[in-house]
Amino acid sequence: MKRLFTLAALSVLTAFNFYPLPAAAARVRCADFATQQEAQAYMQQHGTTYLDGDKDGVACESLPRGSGSTRVPTVARPQQPSQALLTAAVVSVGDGDTLRVQSQGKAMTVRLACVDAAEMKQAPYGQAASQRLKQLLPQGQRISLRVVDVDRYQRTVAEVYVGSTPVNLQMVQEGQAVVYRQYLSGCPGLRNQLLQAEQQAKRQRLQFWSQARPVMPWEYRQRQRG
C-alpha cells in the first residue's frame, strides 16, 4: 500500500513538473549549464543573481549562446520605438549602462538604449562609468523611460530621462559611454546629438577616449566569448 501511494505521488509531481530544486549546498554554477540561454532562464526563474557576475542582467556570458532553445521566453519586439514614457524609481545601478528599477509595482532591468559603456573588467573605465551612473541615478531617483525594445536577455532597452535630461546622452557627452551604432536606429530623436557628443568627447579625450587604442565594449565582449 505504501509503495502504491509513493508511486501515485511521484506521478502527480511528474505530471505537473514539480521537480525539487538543487540543495542549497549544491550551488548551481555556470558550468552546470550547456548554454547561456539555459543559465538565463534559470536565473530569471529562481532569482540566482550570482550567475550574473558583472551585474548587467545577463547570466553566464562566457557560455555559448545556444540554438534558439525555447527555455528562454520570447518577447514580441515593437515594429517602431514606443513614444510613451514610463515612470519608474531607481533601485540600483549594475554597471555603466544597466540599472534596476521599480515601475508599476514590478522590478525590471533597464539597459540604456543606443549607447555602450566599458565592461567592468575594462579597468578603470568600466568602474568609472558605473560610478558616474550611480551619481546620476541614485537609489530612489524618479526617472522616465522611453522604451525602445526588449533585448534577448529580457532587459528593457530605453532612453532614460531625469526630468528633461537624457541620461544616455549625458554619459556619451562625458566620455563614460560610446554610441552603439548597431542599435542607433532605436533613438531617432537623440541620434544626431549622440553622434555629435561622441565626436566632442573624442576630441577632448574624455574618460574612455583618453586611451591611445580604446577597445570598444562590444569588441571586448566578443573577445571574451571567443
CATH number at residue 131: 2.40.50.90
pLDDT of residue 66: 67
Residue 86 has pLDDT above 80, yes or no: yes
d(C-alpha 223, C-alpha 59), whole Å:
17
pLDDT at 78: 35
**Residue 15 sits in the same domain as residue 63:** yes
Q: Is 169 exposed, middle or buried (0-12, 13-18, 19+ CB in 10 A)?
A: buried
Beta-carbon-side half-sphere exposure of residue 157 (alpha carbons within 13 Å): 21
Instruction: Please check whether residue 96 lies inside any domain of the structure.
Output: yes
Q: Kindly state the average pLDDT of the residues 64-79.
A: 44
Of 167, 205, 174, give the one whose Cα is nearest residue 159: 167
Angle (nearest 5°) at CA 62 between 183 and 53: 90
- Show the cell assigned to 8: 501515485
| End-of-domain residue from the set 49, 74, 99 | 74
42 and 128 share a domain?
Answer: no
Q: For residues 90 and 140, is the Cβ–Cβ distance under 8 A?
A: yes
Average pLDDT, the chain: 81
Whether residue 183 sits in one domain with residue 125: yes
Q: Would residue 177 count as lying in a domain?
A: yes
Q: What is the pLDDT of residue 16?
A: 36
Largest CA distance in the chain: 81
Among 20, 55, 74, identify where a domain stops: 74
Which pLDDT band holds residue 27 (cuts at 50, 70, 90)? Answer: confident
Q: Are residues 67 and 96 in the same domain?
A: no
Residue 68 and residue 46 share a domain: yes
Instruction: Please state, for a pLDDT cut of 90, what percent of the chain lies above it.
Output: 61
Q: Is residue 79 part of a domain?
A: no
195 shares a domain with 134: yes
pLDDT tens-digit series, residues 140-185: 999 999 999 999 999 999 999 999 999 999 999 999 999 999 999 9
Same domain flag for 30 and 89: no
> Do 184 and 194 touch, CB atoms closer than 8 A?
yes
The domain boundary, picked from 74, 109, 133, lies at 74
171 and 201 inside one domain: yes
Nearest Cα to 146, choosing from 129, 167, 131, 132? 167
Please list the active-site residues.
111, 119, 155
**Full residue range of the structural domain in which residue 180 is found:** 85-225
Q: Are residues 121 and 188 in the same domain?
A: yes
CA distance 93 to 103: 15
Q: Are residues 22 and 114 in the same domain?
A: no
Confidence label for 17 from pLDDT (cuts 50, 70 and 90): very low
Domains contained in the chain, number:
2
Secondary structure of residue 62 in the 3-state scheme: coil
80, part of any domain:
no
Span of 57-71, 97-111, 122-136 with lowest mean pLDDT: 57-71
**For the residues 2-23, what does the mean pLDDT come to?**
39
By CB neighbour count within 10 A (0-12 exposed, 13-18 middle, 19+ buried), where does 214 fall?
A: middle
Query: What is the average per-residue pLDDT within 117-128?
Result: 96
